[in-house]
Structure 1
Amino acid sequence: MPDQNIGQKSCELEVAFEEDEAPFLWRNFGLEDGLTLLVFWSMAGVVFAQFFSRYILSSSLGWTEEVARYLLICVGFMAATIGVRKRSHIRLELLYRYLPVKASAVIIWLMDIGQLVYFAMLGWVTWKILPLMSAQKMTSIAISMEALYSIVLFSIAIMVIRLAGQVIMCRGPKDWLRTHASTEK
């Protein structure tokens, strides 16, 4: 009996999966990664305590909502330091994708300078607000709001230091040139 599949195309799809994940290396992580992870899990513990006390014990802990909110603010600013280190903050890439490679590198450097100025101004404003926050207390617990603003200022300072190092070393433009110089020809 002749083969019935002769002349028919196979319906099987061949999919080649690429290895997207890099191997785990400690040198890929900074101090801010560990601190952010610690604060994140502290926030998760506080939220779980709120959930457990409200729905299991039927008696809500009053302080957990406010503390979780402030821990979320801390996680946000601390995670921003990771974004600066990895150069993964949102950028407007449309313009420099269509310019010559050298001009794109200059624009990347100028954007880094602008970002550095913004972070420095943000740090200065936070520094000015910090003494005013020492008189403010959290509503549910007697902890000064200065603690929260100190963590925010610490995160901004890390962002300024990391970004200043990247601007001085021209890391952004060098990375751009390395990955796109061969495609320009």
Structure 2
Amino acid sequence: MHDAEVDLRAYRAEDWLAFVLFALLGATVFYQFFTRYALNDSASWTEEIARYFLVAIVFIGAAIGVRKNNHIQVDYLYRVLPAKPMRVVATVVDVVRIGFLGTCAVLTWQLIGRIGASRMAVVDLPMGLVYGAVLLGFAAMTWRAIDVARANWRRAASVLEKPELADEVHP
């Protein structure tokens, strides 16, 4: 009896980055636990760093959700509209999503320019590192939203119009 081959081609850069960040978060929390309960002398920096790893994981992980179309969606209109208006609504949703995420990326870039040099409370590192992870997440979400929109336009349907498309390979 053999195990099935593992196919790593389905994973993209944001998957691997989220994995590495999650491993670092786990190691940081373990170190915090160990120093607090085994050594009875908690490392103060671990709480802050763990929090910022979690922020980075959320925004990088959100790009995975955009790529896979796994975010919460309201599908009522898609069930009651005829095909042509439904296609128009789906296209508008794609364009608005790209615009929103792109705007968030630009605003985050501007925020980094204004307050990115401020320092973290416990660790003497710039907050720009944290906001940089948020910017990377928004940029990746925008990029993946463009990929999803292009795929929707090529096949003339989105996952909300045809739920069976959710099983296709993601860009």
- Range class of TM-score, shorter chain: 0.7 to 0.9
Measured in 1, the distance between the counterparts of 2:163 and 2:23 equals 37
Aligned to 1:111: 93
- CA deviation vs aligned residue, 1:105-147 (integer Å, no higher than 9, x gap): 3322211111111101101110111122332111111110011
Measured in 2, the distance between the counterparts of 1:174 and 1:25 equals 27
Aligned to 1:174: 157
Percent identical residues:
32
Is 1:127 the equivalent of 2:109?
yes
Q: 1:25 to 1:109 in 2, by over 3 A?
A: farther
Deviation at 1:179, TM superposition (A): 5.3
SS for the counterpart of 1:91 is coil
Is 1:69 the equivalent of 2:88?
no
Aligned residues: 159
Which residue identity lines up with residue 93 of structure 1 in the other structure? D
Q: 1:98 to 1:132 in 2, by over 3 A?
A: same
Ranked by relative contact order (alpha carbons within 8 Å, sequence separation 6 or more), the top structure is 2
Deviation at 1:178, TM superposition (A): 5.5
RMSD: 2.2
Which TM-score applies when normalising by structure 2?
0.83
Deviation at 1:76, TM superposition (A): 0.1
Matches within 5 A, 1:129-144: 129-144=111-126
Aligned to 2:69: 87
Measured in 2, the distance between the counterparts of 1:76 and 1:107 equals 28
Unaligned segments of structure 2, at least 5 residues:
165-171
Unaligned segments of structure 1, at least 5 residues:
1-22, 181-185
1:96 touches 1:103 (CA, 8 Å); kept in 2? no
Structure 1 stretch displaced more, 88-97 or 66-75: 88-97
Structure 1 stretch displaced more, 89-98 or 121-130: 89-98
Is 1:25 the equivalent of 2:7?
yes
Structure 1 stretch displaced more, 68-77 or 169-178: 169-178
SS for the counterpart of 2:18 is helix
Which TM-score applies when normalising by structure 1?
0.78
Deviation at 1:55, TM superposition (A): 1.2
